[in-house]
Amino acid sequence: MPQPVHDFYQAMADRVGRTLAARDAEHQIVVQVGSATCEHAAGSQAVADELVRHIRASGRKDILLHRTGCTGRCSREPILGVRLPGRLPVKYERVNRDLVHRIFTEHIQGGIPVAQHVLDHEAGPLPERELLFCEGSRCHGSGPGLRERFAAMLAARGVSRGSVRIGAASCFGACGLASGGPATYVLARPEKVLYRVTGEEDLTAILDGHLIGGQVVERLRAQEEPIALAFMERYGDVAFFNRQSRVALRNAGVVDPESLDEYVDMDGFKALADVLERRDPDWVIGELAKARLRGRGGGGYSTAAKWTLARRQADATRFIICNGDEGDPGAFMDRSMLESDPFNIVEGMIIGGFAIGAQKGFFYIRAEYPLAIRRIQQALDTCRAHGLLGRNIMDSGWDFDLEIRLGAGAFVCGEETALIRSIEGERGQPRVRPPYPTDRGLWGHPTVINNVETFANISAILRYSGDWYARLGTEKSGGTKVFALAGKVRHTGLVEVPLGTPLARVVNDIGGGVTGGRQLKAIQTGGPAGGFIPASMQNMEVDFEPLQKAGSIMGSGGMIVLSEDDCMVDIAKFYIAFSQDESCGKCTPCREGTTRLLEILERITQGKGELSDLDKLERLARLCQRTSLCGLGRAAPNPVLSSLKHFRGEFLAHIVDRHCPAKKCVALIHYEINPEKCVGCTICARNCPVACIAGARKEAHVIDQAACVKCGNCFDVCKFAAVDRV
């Protein structure tokens, strides 16, 4: 029987294999620089240019400059990776042009890494090899015990700990893929060998055979090829990364986002080939159901159920839409996925189109993301040129196409009915549901809308099975979730963890805790539609239901860490101001409700609040929740209700004591100069915009409280901590 799709895929995979093998044979050394909005902002373009100059000047032909997407390690960008043959890959942080020069001469030419600039490297020499033990954080395996045993064995044998590093990775996602029974997986770098270990004898074999003998212990080699292996192989030594479980972000920072070949090399389009070969949409939807995949856009609706609803419609004209509006101010995972692994999102959408029987799909991307738009457009053009999109996809006889539509800066357009209006070229105002878009959506036809991250998971689920994906998560929700960690946290960036992971693990273990030695106050999830999880509840599991029970929501994955310096009334006001500004104005409860809520909060932060305001806030918030037309108005009061629930004392302090405990609300603070500490350096007076600080040189200065505008400049510039904020 002819197998056109299989043949198509095989021919493509073979061609890619040959091309990349030829490239690798030519280039022994790979230097990697990120290329995404955040990397560019940090200066990665200048770094790349400088590298090109150095490579050219050196005349060497064996160095490949590899442009990848972004790994999501924002606070350390630009990141530059160096891979020398047979050596552990080294990543450098906060690279600038001068550092490029050092790295090039000392490391690339000289073979000795510049240790003090290595990403997250504490001190001391860099190890030559590394063994990463999975911690079995989900399966509660014996990894940690075996890891300690192994370290002890190393010490007993006198193997220098400096040259071999024993590390831990949370989970490779290898469990139960092939070989049965529980086991611990150990990744040996730089050999890129994954071992499957069940007991101490295995450890001895690895120690003797692999570390001392220098031979791969074939007997223990794992049959599994877990999903994030390529990622771990490059980034496994960095704690920020090895404590994550990357599924949706598996290729971010690994592949060149503009290269179809590299995506195919990561098993790209294998899932699509499988789908088109089976020609069985029910199989696709069945796997998603087994995976317990829930929409990552915020609502957490079952993706299998949504696709089934559209599929069952009598109307055969159907559409599929990728929601890339990412409106939550403080979230950037969708942008990163679109920029760093665009082909994966495209593949997810094509599979979705096939499963629901659509002829056409749309990417709706916000105009504020120009690079994401360019990358997706480039991916679509490439796919079309290679028979992966358009007519007769992969020689299957099935036609499907995708097109990009741009948002134009309206938060409400993330809401599905408003988004549809916007694609139709109208003002993006939502309408009443039902009918749901799966009944009547774009131009009245059945339409499925899913979030970017939802699509990012599709190919992985079909490659590794729904059961595998479900096992990663919790009873109710399978898989992982990507969070955009920002705010007062040491390591800002993208964190992908299995659902059910404790919040504290994300913020403290991966995020490195609160900045500046301050105390954690709360964690905000869900953006303007979400709420606050107080520090006392930081051990709760991240999943849709627990977060909702705590008065917040999962949302799309924004996670803002707040410290004791943040005023909860002020932050609640910030979110209401956002919702008020973004309310489309169609329904009264939302339009007027958010305006009045904002007025009351404004009053409280001005020190003009009354006790009765708290009841008013609560009543109005509930009214707005219950009677608004769309999710914007219904969720807008959440930050207010949740801050009232967990931080009522702070509201009372503003109202009763006229005091802002976080010293944030300008109307409730003032600045004083401590004459004991002031040395009369005059820097405050020189920086005061209203010239309200008096005092002669070398004499204590005084602030004229009546004229002071409380800008805080004096507080910021004083080098002697003589200015007090009270």
Partner 1 sequence: MTACPHCPTDNWPELERGYRAMLPEDVLAFIDAHRGEPHSESLLIATLHMVQDHLGHLGPGHLEAVAQLMQIPLAKVTGVATFYHYFRLQPRGRYLINVCLGTACYVKGAEKVAQKLMDELGIHFGETSKDGIFSLESTRCVGTCGLAPVVMIGEEVHGPLTPGQVPALLESYLARAAEEMAKV
| Whole-number Å distance between alpha carbons of 699 and 722 | 12
In the complex with ligand FMN, which residue's Cβ is closer, 373 or 665? Answer: 373
In the complex with partner 1, which residue's Cβ is closer, 77 or 262? Answer: 77
**Does residue 524 belong to the site contacting partner 1 (CB under 8 A)?**
yes
Q: Which amino acid belongs to residue 421?
A: R
With CB under 5 to 8 Å by kind, the binding choice for 586 among ligand FES, partner 1, ligand FMN, none is: none
**Does residue 330 belong to the site contacting ligand FES (CB under 6 A)?**
yes
**Does residue 479 belong to the site contacting partner 1 (CB under 8 A)?**
no
With CB under 5 to 8 Å by kind, the binding choice for 574 among ligand FMN, ligand FES, partner 1, none is: partner 1
Radius of gyration of the chain (CA): 28
Q: What's 36's DSSP letter?
A: S
- Of 136, 173, 295, 534, the residue at the interface with ligand FMN (CB under 6 A) is 295
Tell me how many degrees the CA angle 299-630-545 measures, rounded to the nearest 5: 25
Residue 407 half-sphere exposure, CB side, CA atoms within 13 Å?
28
**Does residue 414 belong to the site contacting ligand FMN (CB under 6 A)?**
yes
Cβ neighbours, 10 Å, residue 372? 28
- Of 230, 255, 484, 636, the residue at the interface with partner 1 (CB under 8 A) is 484
In the complex with partner 1, which residue's Cβ is closer, 679 or 711? Answer: 711
Binding letters toward partner 1, positions 38-77, x by CB under 8 A: x-xxx-----------------------------x-xx-x
3-state DSSP helix/strand/coil percent for the chain, to nearest 5? Answer: 45, 15, 40
With CB under 5 to 8 Å by kind, the binding choice for 423 among partner 1, ligand FES, ligand FMN, none is: partner 1
| Whole-number Å distance between alpha carbons of 400 and 318 | 11
Which positions from 111 through 140 interact with ligand FMN, judged by CB under 6 A? Answer: none
**From residue 611, how far is each of 109, 429, 653, 657, 667 by CA, in Å?**
70, 36, 11, 11, 18
- Of 326, 401, 416, 613, the residue at the interface with partner 1 (CB under 8 A) is 326
Judged on CB neighbours under 10 Å (0-12, 13-18, 19+), 161 is: exposed
- Of 48, 254, 560, 621, the residue at the interface with partner 1 (CB under 8 A) is 560
Cα 495 to chain centroid, rounded: 5
- Of 48, 88, 542, 562, the residue at the interface with partner 1 (CB under 8 A) is 562
**CB contact set of 239 (below 8 Å; sequence gap of 6+):** 120, 509, 510
Nearest Cα neighbor of 395 from 16, 17, 9 is 9
- Cβ atoms of 561 and 607 closer than 8 Å: no
**Does residue 408 belong to the site contacting partner 1 (CB under 8 A)?**
yes
In the complex with ligand FMN, which residue's Cβ is closer, 118 or 373? Answer: 373
**Does residue 301 belong to the site contacting ligand FMN (CB under 6 A)?**
yes
Tell me how many degrees the CA angle 171-173-177 measures, rounded to the nearest 5: 140
State the nearest-atom distance from the C-beta of 447 to ligand FMN, in Å: 11
**Does residue 437 belong to the site contacting partner 1 (CB under 8 A)?**
no
**Does residue 299 belong to the site contacting ligand FMN (CB under 6 A)?**
yes
**Does residue 481 belong to the site contacting partner 1 (CB under 8 A)?**
no
**Contact region with partner 1 (CB under 8 A), list: 54-62, 98-106, 402-410, 607-615:** 402-410
Q: How many residues bind ligand FMN (CB under 6 A)?
A: 22
With CB under 5 to 8 Å by kind, the binding choice for 566 among ligand FES, partner 1, ligand FMN, none is: partner 1
Q: Which residues pair with 91 in a beta bridge?
A: 81
Nearest Cα neighbor of 310 from 449, 437, 438, 441 is 438
- Of 85, 125, 213, 370, the residue at the interface with partner 1 (CB under 8 A) is 370
- Of 329, 390, 680, 712, the residue at the interface with ligand FES (CB under 6 A) is 329
Which residue carries 């504290």 as its tokens?
504
**Does residue 526 belong to the site contacting ligand FES (CB under 6 A)?**
no
**Does residue 238 belong to the site contacting partner 1 (CB under 8 A)?**
no
| Whole-number Å distance between alpha carbons of 302 and 308 | 10
| Whole-number Å distance between alpha carbons of 243 and 92 | 19
- Cβ atoms of 461 and 291 closer than 8 Å: yes
Residue 345 half-sphere exposure, CB side, CA atoms within 13 Å?
37
- Of 141, 297, 352, 639, the residue at the interface with ligand FMN (CB under 6 A) is 297
| Whole-number Å distance between alpha carbons of 639 and 601 | 12
**Does residue 328 belong to the site contacting partner 1 (CB under 8 A)?**
yes
| Whole-number Å distance between alpha carbons of 459 and 453 | 11
**Does residue 416 belong to the site contacting ligand FMN (CB under 6 A)?**
yes
Give the tokens for residue 39. 């990397």
- Cβ atoms of 131 and 205 closer than 8 Å: no
| Whole-number Å distance between alpha carbons of 613 and 625 | 18
State the nearest-atom distance from the C-beta of 563 to partner 1, in Å: 9
State the nearest-atom distance from the C-beta of 282 to ligand FMN, in Å: 20
State the nearest-atom distance from the C-beta of 24 to ligand FES, in Å: 37
Cα 624 to chain centroid, rounded: 31
Q: Rule CB under 8 A: which residues touch partner 1?
A: 37-38, 40-42, 72, 74-75, 77, 326-332, 335-336, 367-370, 405-411, 422-429, 443, 484-488, 492-493, 524, 527, 558, 560, 562, 566, 571, 574-575, 578, 582, 584, 689, 711-712
Residues interacting with ligand FMN, by CB under 6 A?
295-299, 301, 323, 325-327, 412, 414-416, 449-451, 454, 556, 630-632
Residues in touch with ligand FES (CB under 6 A): 329-330
